[in-house]
Amino acid sequence: MTAQAPVLRRHGNAYNIFILVLTIYSLALMVLLILPLDEDTHALINLYDNAICIIFLIDFGFNLTGAKPKRAYFISQRGWLDLLGSIPSFGFLRFTALLRLARLSRLARITRLLGGQAGKDLVLDVLRNRSQYATFITILLAGMVLSVASILILQEESRSPGANITTGGDAIWWGIVTITTVGYGDFYPVTTLGRITAVFVMFAGIGIIGALASILASLLVSPSTPDEPAPGEASVPEPQAASASDPQVATVAGPQVETAQQVASIPASQAAMMATGSIAEELAGLRAEMAGQRAEMAGQRAEIAALRASLGSGGG
């Protein structure tokens, strides 16, 4: 009995790139936690780091539940390092900050997965799954813009005597209001660098909100299913079966049946283009040919009737 190969949960490139960039960003936040910043800024950075930890914990659980057996991911793929790097600190478990270095394992694994693909394959995957890439990139940019803007604005404004953005909560509220272009005006920057940061956040917010609106619209609008014939599409007549009781009548009906079969044998690709001028002209020509053959058939029927009449009088 052969051993069954382990099964691991596979993700799309859009998801892998999202986790890859988020891992790099979390390592940058870890560096900021080491720098000698004020306590409010450290608390704000720690808040964003814990939010990323929750995302990583969800990713860990997602990978673990999709692996068969579980040890294939937890041991062979070093999933235990993913778990260690995803433990939040919550402000009082400060020793867990050292465990952030375990995120390098996730970074190396995803880089190896993406590096094994050719650049052409990645481009084709982007073109095929544009909606997935747009969703992940928009969410990632929204989180990065909010976190970077709030950290910068707090760092600049908290040192100004006339500032009204002095805590991490004020900075987050200002960032959300500015990104969504609401602009309540209860919190606003007073320093030059703070206002420059606000300008960039405003322009970024316009793009992010526009992208989110387009993604939502694409989810609500159902794709069109062109199963019904297009307006103005001509219907193809079905050929009528001719009676074979009279050989002469069957001979006369032969051209009509053949012409009707020609009309019925039009390919489906051409039938889908009946509304165009070239197909309409072709149908008009076929109809004219059928009309001429009907006139010819009428003359032949008259000749048959005369022949029968002469045969009947001769027999009498």
The confidence score (pLDDT) of residue 4 equals 73
Residues 78 and 136 in one domain: no
Q: Assess if residue 2 is contained within a domain.
A: yes
Percent of the chain residues topping a pLDDT of 70: 77
- As a residue count, the chain comes to 316
Domain boundary at 99, 126, 153, which? Answer: 126
Please answer whether residues 51 and 59 qualify as being in contact, where contact means their C-beta atoms are separated by less than 8 angstroms: no
Reading the block at residue 315, the tokens are 């027999």
Closest CA to 263 of 286, 240, 293, 296: 286
- Do 2 and 64 share a domain, yes or no? yes
At 159, give phi and psi (nearest 5°).
Answer: -95, 0
Dihedral over alpha carbons 141, 185, 181, 26 (to 10 degrees): 10
Quote the tokens at residue 3. Answer: 């051993």
- Element at 20 (helix H, strand E): helix 13-34
Given pLDDT bands bounded at 50, 70 and 90, which one contains residue 262?
low
Q: Is 230 left (phi over 0), alpha (psi -120 to 50) or beta?
A: beta
Asked if residue 165 lies in contact with residue 173, where contact means CB atoms within 8 angstroms, the answer is no
Give the CB-side neighbour count of residue 135, counting CA atoms within 13 A.
13
191 lies in the same domain as 180: yes
Return the pLDDT at 248: 47
pLDDT for the residue numbered 23: 93
* Nearest to 248, CA basis, from 308, 310, 188: 308
171 has pLDDT over 50 = yes
Q: Taking residues 81-89, report their average pLDDT.
A: 87
Nearest to 50 by CA among 18, 96, 109: 96
Q: Quick check: is 282 in a domain?
A: yes
Overall number of domains in the chain: 3
7 pLDDT band, cuts 50/70/90, is confident
In a domain, 271, yes or no: yes
The one-character DSSP state at 139 is H
Q: Which residue has the tokens 């079966």?
A: 241
Give the C-alpha separation, 139 to 3, whole Å: 42
Q: Which residues contact 64 (CB under 8 A, 6 or more apart)?
A: 70, 73, 74, 79
DSSP label at 8? -
184 and 68, same structural domain? no
Q: Which domain holds residue 174?
A: 129-219
Given 201, 219, 237, the domain boundary residue is 219
**Cβ-contact 10, 73 below 8 angstroms:** no
84 domain-assigned: yes
239 falls within a domain: no
Which tokens hold the place of 216?
């939502």
- Determine which of 3-17, 22-36, 242-256 has the lowest per-residue pLDDT on average: 242-256
Same domain, 95 and 207: no
Q: Are residues 179 and 147 in the same domain?
A: yes
Q: Name the more confident of 308 and 246.
A: 308
Tell me: the pLDDT tens digits for 57-71?
999 999 999 888 888
| 114 and 143 co-located in one domain | no
Judgement on whether residues 57 and 154 belong to the same structural domain of the protein: no
Q: State pTM to two decimals.
A: 0.65
Residue 151 to residue 42: CA distance in whole angstroms: 9
- In 6-62, beta strands by DSSP E: none
Residue type, 47: L
- pLDDT score recorded for residue 3: 61
Q: Are residues 162 and 199 in the same domain?
A: yes
Q: For residue range 182-218, what is the model confidence (pLDDT) as tens digits?
A: 878 888 899 999 999 999 999 999 999 999 888 888 8
- Tell me the angle at which helices 168-179 and 130-157 cross, rounded to the nearest 10 degrees: 140
20 and 71 co-located in one domain = yes
Q: Which residues contact 151 (CB under 8 A, 6 or more apart)?
A: 32, 41, 44, 45, 48, 171
Q: What is the CATH number of the domain that holds 186?
A: 1.10.287.70
Residue-wise pLDDT tens digits, 109-152? 888 888 877 678 888 888 888 888 999 999 999 999 999 999 99
* Res. 227: pLDDT tops 80: no
